[in-house]
Amino acid sequence: MKNTALITGASNGIGLELAKIHASKGGNLVLVARNKAKLDELKEELEKQYNVSVYTIGKDLSEPNSAQTVYNETNANNIQIDYLINNAGFGDFGMFVDTDWNKELQMINLNITTLTQFTKLYIQDMVKRGSGKIMNVASTAAFQPGPTMAVYFATKAYVLSFSEAIGNEVSDKGVTVTSLCPGATESGFQAAAAMEESNLVKGKKLPSSKEVAQYGYAAMLSGKAVAIHGLMNYFLANSVRFAPRSLVVKLARKIQEKSN
């Protein structure tokens, strides 16, 4: 029996690579993103190459109750979701006093509310069946405050905390929850967040979306609770626990600020 994975934000970056990996294993897919045309191109490619079934849904997941709409559609089409991968998300770069509230509200809706609602809806079905896997894409941003990206860092802290908590709650019910925490990745995220000039990414050789997706997919299959991609990222994410918070936030700002 083929496992079906629902992947949000599947039109590019890590989400697209996750879709390719799952299809290469013979798994069926439900792909969700705003750009349905790109999803349909990917559907044609994956179905032809791997002989799997791919169902696409064009949806702006920053809209209220969008997760319920997607859930209703999968139910109406009798599609059982075995793996839920909440990958969709975006950030914004700039001082909070200057940034745009409407964009931040969309970010909170997508990164937190929609992710939580998707998880709520599908985890109940998984628990009833006694099987299922969920991967919520957080970030190394989850481990400390992030001046110049304050709201984004805070949303990812939520994703990490939420995922660890519910993972514990369902640990005896045949369901696993993985929080994937990549660092800066070559994915188009930086351009969308207008942060190409920050010290974090300018002039740096970043890991590819494919590398991160392969690591995350393997971590999800093994049921790993927190999966931090890259040895240096692992070290930095854990080292902040031993430093004064005032120092951590100062260092985070220095790393995030635009390079001169």
pTM above 0.85, yes or no: yes
Specify the number of domains making up the chain.
Answer: 1
| Closest residue by Cα to residue 49 from 92, 20, 81 | 20
**Terminal CA-CA length for the chain:** 55
Give the domain CATH number at 127.
Answer: 3.40.50.720
Each residue's pLDDT tens digit in the chain (260 positions)?
589 999 999 999 999 999 999 999 999 999 999 999 999 999 999 999 999 999 999 999 999 999 999 999 999 999 999 999 999 999 999 999 999 999 999 999 999 999 999 999 999 999 999 999 999 999 999 999 999 999 999 999 999 999 999 999 999 999 999 999 999 988 665 554 455 554 554 456 789 999 999 999 999 999 999 999 988 877 777 766 766 666 667 676 777 766 55
Tokens representing 49 are 């190459």
Beta-bridge partner residues of 4: 28
Rounded Cα–Cα distance for residues 10 and 26 (Å): 17
Catalytic amino acids? Answer: 152, 156
Rounded Cα–Cα distance for residues 72 and 117 (Å): 12
Per the structure, the complete domain to which residue 249 belongs is given by 4-256
Q: 11: helix, coil or strand?
A: coil
- CA–CA distances in Å: residue 210 to residues 49, 184, 207: 18, 13, 8
